[in-house]
A and B are shown apart, each in its own frame.
Chain A
């Protein structure tokens, strides 16, 4: 109810003493928040002739009775009918700020601090002796706790390819408020750049709620990729609040560890050496003289009485020389402990290699 009352006051309340030949229209709840916004008003000239004059806008905080600013526009012609006041004319205005806390803050930040205000628009006719017109708009300018993103948190790693995206709306939240959300993949550069030049993956407008399910009509997000997103809130086509830019990465499994880049030594040569150190993987070359499809091998834990390890990764072979990588990272080996690799080549004696497991990043 209060809102409706305020809007009615704002739009149609006309100060006594003014004859409605010349009327100002101004929406203080939306445009009264900033000094620049004071220039967004309409004038209705019902006199039937063009009027020449200037507009004087005065803003006063009514509870503390402090004058804030007086803006005097240059002299301009106002044609008959209803028009938006020309922005270039307003931009050339003279701004006179009073000397008090409200005025200082308004001057420094361009924003009008919350409070109860009277915005008075006065038309001063350039022709001496002609009538001046004035409309005043009383409104409470409310503070706005800005929009803030909630989930997925900035820098988060999530395992959801169609996540819920949620945010805290500007407070006080109004039912006429709408949100627009933009999400895109983060490639090179900062988030702000990516949001600007990448094609949107998700662009939803007119959102009425404070969270969305990633729509099923859109392809799901991809593992390992990073996404940036931002939400804005608007009301009557005016942006009220912008969120920060956050990013998250879709990651369900820990990324594979970097594998060593050593060369492949002949398996038989490894036998002659001492302990072979296997950093995350066993790497060797192996000649397959027959058309065997899979490498037949096993790994034993020497420290646990030659216990045979389960679930060795499958190694596919082609005929001829093969470069073999056995990824050990998934086998839960203990770094520093000794293991035995037994390979059973077809029609040849077994090859046994003792090795020590290691789990270290390689310096570039």
Chain B
């Protein structure tokens, strides 16, 4: 039954995908991009079309495209010769274009890249156990990071291995290591772009089009010349004198009409000056000569217009994909590079395929894929994505690798058990589409493993029993621009899932199980949807969103989604004057926790930020944030609460004895009032004041910081009132060594008054070797809590690059 239901699920998904695909293809066909169309096919089709056109025009001499050819007085043989010459040249270029160049000359299979390695060591003396609590057996942590970029068959891949000794001293460390193997698509495309730019002269790409235009132009010019010579002959016969024309007047690509005119008539004037004595003002030959030149001028202009307005020429010009200058940015547009590589470059099948593999991740990789997809998840397995002009797709499979031992050690996860493995498919529009759409189906499997229990190690993160179960989500995403600067994103998702072994045919659950109807189902409770608008209205950046997550919606790939919540948000950012920015956000959330809506929570969150920037060194900011709740969390009654934070911060600089002193100030006030279980409210209030001044002495920075915090909390040590004064100076002692010294005084109310030092040293021992050491020591001068009297913190790191 279970497998059948999955088949149903897949079936439905496929139907939707197919429908989407058809839409996608239809869409992509409709929106054929103009640039970078296949040169080869264009060559052929254009030639064919032109031939047909030319022949058609021979039969219908009234059409104007090849009007100048008509002027050749139907000398058919000559015309065919013309056409042949028109074709023969492009053929040569076509040949040139069709012979492909090898993109990669280097035949090495593996090429090693740079290696980065670093080791870090942290030591913390927490004698009291106050800080680390249940983790206090942990005194020191070492971590390492090794990464390298290698080239395999010219494909750049990054390989990295990161890890640490972890929470456990010896036995169980597997979750603290990350091994990654990633194909670097961006780098690959950049390499190809620069190789193409180096190897393929942009003129070759434009040559064909340019030659066509020139061929047409020369036809016009030929016709023009023959017409002109007819006029010249006519004149010569009548007046027995030949009117010579200056060079280049029949060049139709010359633009400046006034130059043309003056050139032509200079001839006339020169001649008339030479015959000044013999020819009088009333000389007929001279007048006719000027008339003739005027005629010729008009002829040239009209032919020039005809040439420029020729439909074919216009079309060819608009199809010129780029100029020499815009070549590189032309290559950067998606699709163009693919086209050019396909036509002019030689790549192996795999090399070509990887141009469209936008993602190939193996090992433990974080996945972040949108609101109703996977988020804050580390997938241990494979994650691939493919995208070309028409379609994109993705596949992901892996085990869950999310357990954060730092946060979960010694605790049982009661939030929700996590899935054991996951399989996902994605299909959507390609890069050629104006809107971005995809549909994604993810399956999550839950299985029990003995090691998910607490075991013997008290520090191990534990999970509750995990009865076998399969959950799935199907999500549709669509992002499009309704108008320039107005973008809408729509997400809809449905979840379904049930325990695998509750399917005995007599059970009620069998009859109503969630798999049975994927798109129908009881109510809308297992749906989630979101509409998001981003745009510019009245010179302000505006965002609006509405999000609704059904009470029964469950997405194991994004545990932070809150079921039963309806949320509406609005945000605006506006530059009031050149230097002042105002940001305002408000959202309202209403959450029903149970089907009868007896338990609810409403909250309104406001945030206002003002920023006034005078210049780089002087600015003022003001932030106000307020959240209020109104909840029914007990059957008994309503409770209210909220929190408020006001902060003013700024930077200013002053000159002291010719030196610039940069200052930063922050004043903030925070107040919290949270409903508690026992008809009480948890209240806290704190005020913080901080001032830092920095100055450069002999190019070395010196900074002095004061921090004052007044808090009404007296129990938790890291939240009591405190006063801190610290001075910090760092300087270069040798070419390779830099030191940082700091001294400070720390008055922590309720525990100790301490004096402290910090010593930092960083050294570049070799070009490839770097070492940093930080040591912080605090000694109590007035002891209230002896266990926190003296504190030592050491970190040391070594970084290698070669």
Contacts and interface: CB of A to CB of B under 8 A. Distances in A.
A and B bind? yes
B412 A98 contact: no
B81 interface: no
Interface of B: 120, 122, 130-135, 141-143, 145, 160, 162-164, 175-178, 364-366, 368, 376-378, 402, 404, 406-408, 410-417, 448, 450, 452-453, 464-469, 495-499, 501-502, 504, 507-509, 511-514, 522-523, 525-526, 551-554, 559-560, 562-563, 591, 593-596, 598-599, 601, 603, 615-617, 625, 627, 629, 631, 633-635, 639, 641, 643, 645, 649, 651, 655, 658, 660, 662, 664, 666, 668, 670, 672, 674-679, 682, 684, 686, 688, 690, 692, 694, 705, 707, 709, 711, 713, 715-716, 718-719, 722, 724, 726, 744, 746, 748, 754, 756, 758, 774, 776, 778, 791, 793, 795
A197 B163 contact: yes
Interface string A305-325: 000000100000000000000
A146 B464 contact: no
A199 B122 contact: yes
A240 B414 contact: yes
A174 to B, nearest CB: 5
Interface string A1-36: 111000000000000000000000000001101111
A211 B686 contact: yes
A40 B551 contact: no
A178 B411 CA distance: 11
Interface of A: 1-3, 30-31, 33-37, 39-40, 63-64, 87-88, 90-99, 101-105, 107-111, 113-116, 140, 142-143, 145-146, 150-151, 158-162, 164, 166, 168-169, 171-175, 178, 180, 182, 187-193, 195-200, 203-213, 215-220, 230, 232, 234, 237-242, 244-245, 252-254, 311, 329-330, 332
A205 B595 contact: no
B468 A150 contact: no
B552 A166 contact: no
Contacts of B635: 63, 116, 140
B142 A113 contact: no
B615 A164 contact: no
B132 A159 contact: no
A172 B791 contact: no
B562 A146 contact: yes
Given A239-B415, A244-B560, 4 more contacts: A108-B554, A173-B675, A209-B715, A234-B411
B793 A253 contact: no
Contact of B754 (A91, A175, A216, A219): A216
A191 to B, nearest CB: 8
A205 B135 contact: yes
B785 to A, nearest CB: 13
Given A107-B499, A192-B402, A199-B142, A332 B615 contact: yes
Contact of A113 (B595, B649, B664, B682): B595
Which 8 residue pairs are nearest across A and B when measured between Cβ atoms?
A205-B133, A101-B595, A190-B366, A95-B502, A39-B465, A143-B593, A87-B465, A217-B791
Given A166-B670, A210-B674, A240-B415, A199 B141 contact: yes
B333 to A, nearest CB: 16
B412 A238 contact: yes
Contacts of A220: 726
Contacts of B595: 101-102, 105, 113
Nearest to A170: B674
B473 to A, nearest CB: 11
A88 B448 contact: yes
B662 A108 contact: no
Given A196-B178, A239-B412, A172 B662 contact: no
Contact of A109 (B563, B601, B662): B563
Nearest to A212: B718
A267 B616 CA distance: 29
B643 A172 contact: no
A8 B705 CA distance: 52
A288 B565 CA distance: 72
A144 B682 CA distance: 16
A218 B664 contact: no
A2 B599 CA distance: 18
A164 B643 CA distance: 15
23 contacts: A36-B466, A39-B465, A63-B598, A91-B448, A94-B501, A95-B467, A101-B595, A104-B522, A115-B599, A168-B674, A171-B633, A171-B675, A195-B407, A199-B142, A200-B406, A203-B135, A206-B134, A207-B719, A217-B793, A232-B411, A239-B413, A242-B560, A252-B664
Contact of A88 (B417, B450, B523, B684): B450
Contacts of B645: 150-151, 166
Contacts of A218: 776, 793
Contacts of B631: 145, 171
Nearest to B133: A205
B450 A215 contact: no
A170 to B, nearest CB: 9
Contacts of A151: 645, 670
